[in-house]
Structure 1
């Protein structure tokens, strides 16, 4: 289940990238690819890595359309759900 949250976040970002400007599309696609890759690894990402991704997404959200911002929020929600399962901080 936990990895499913990262996949869902990746998919939300892919959808957000579809309607974004070229520059924003590239950045959102990169974040989507990162999350998909992290979901496939044997050991998942730690809190620090996820915090960096969340920070980047919040910055990208400022440049997104209303629909894109909603999809980024959705991705952030999935990441937060995944973080609840990560040991540590």
Structure 2
């Protein structure tokens, strides 16, 4: 089962990584890889893990500008939308 919103967030971060410096690119790749893993693993991610990703993406988005910032915000929104479907909290 693929969690579409998380896969979309991963893909969007990869797109954003093409627009930034090497250090930020690595940070975006790391987030992208982790979200891709969450999108396809057997167990559902919990609220805490998703919240940590949202916080990292918030910080990254604030450090960037232009299209890269917009793409990171879009990825964060995708995680947020998926998180609404997670039971609990």
| Structure 1 segments unaligned to the other structure (5+ residues) | none
| Structure 2 segments unaligned to the other structure (5+ residues) | none
1:29-63 CA deviation, whole Å, 9 max, x = no partner?
10000000011111121100000001011111122
SS in 2 for 1:62: helix
Are the equivalent residues in 1 in contact too, given 2:2–2:40 (CA < 8 A)? Answer: no
Are 1:84 and 2:84 an aligned pair?
yes
Aligned alpha-carbon RMSD (Å) = 1.4
- Tell me the equivalent position of 2:10: 10
Q: How many residues align?
A: 89
- Tell me the equivalent position of 2:40: 40
